[in-house]
Amino acid sequence: MCFAVLSNKTRALKPQTNDVPYVNLQLLSSLKACAGASAGALVATVMITAPDKLQHCKEFTYRFASNVRSQRFGAVTPGYDFMLELREGIEEILPPNAHQLANERLHVSITHSKTRKNSMVSSFTSREDLIKVLLASCFVPVYAGVKPVEFQGQKWIDGGFTDSLPILPVGRTITVSPFSGPQDISPAHKGISKLHLRLANMSVVFSKDNIIRLNEALFPSSLPRLKALEQEGYQDAVHFLKKERWIQ
């Protein structure tokens, strides 16, 4: 569920608008590369290929979550095609040359369905190849369907099973996680537990709040709750950027 970004930003940015006072296109354009698994891979892809569509992505996420929530048994409801709706959203957002923009700048974590070995894909020969890799990185068996995603003659599943927090080999990687832990940007841990678990290359606090967050990732909450989570994530990001003196 996480993504990582590599930035060469060395000077502070002033807010430009009331709608997105800190996260602006100037800051996003400074990114050299992004990496991620599952939903994090989707976010990383948008940041690399279509940063001007972040608002569009938020609207799609709310709509997607609402559709999943409306199903009797959520994503596993018979007759509901989770992966098809995700594909339609990806196709709607990615520009025609997305694969060219992503080539060697986007690193997507996927897991081989049989060997359970991780692969990091950063070369995309076509837009369709990019879409397939993203779908593979998001495919959770049973939850998202029964047939793994095929890419280059092999079958793949969620990259979060083997490397949920890819670290890029050059420069500084800014790590982002929806779970409380030692990542650069993540929810603050408010409990007394100091027990950390190592899950697919990511350290998280073993806590009730993180268990709730995992449940919310699979079974989307109401729109007000999603908006509250969005605001919390925004504040976490602002706190980090201020701490690093990348914004004023």
Q: Are strands 202-205 and 196-199 parallel, antiparallel or unpaired?
A: antiparallel
State the pairing for strand pair 154-158/106-112: antiparallel
- Supply the residues annotated as catalytic: 38, 158
CB 122 within 8 A of CB 107: yes
Angle subtended at Cα 119 by Cα 47 and Cα 102, rounded to the nearest 5 degrees: 25
> Would you state the torsion angle of the CA atoms of residues 19, 131, 104, 4, taken in this order, to the nearest 10 degrees?
50
Say how far apart CA 103 and CA 147 lie, in whole Å: 27
**φ/ψ of residue 100, rounded to 5:** -75, -40
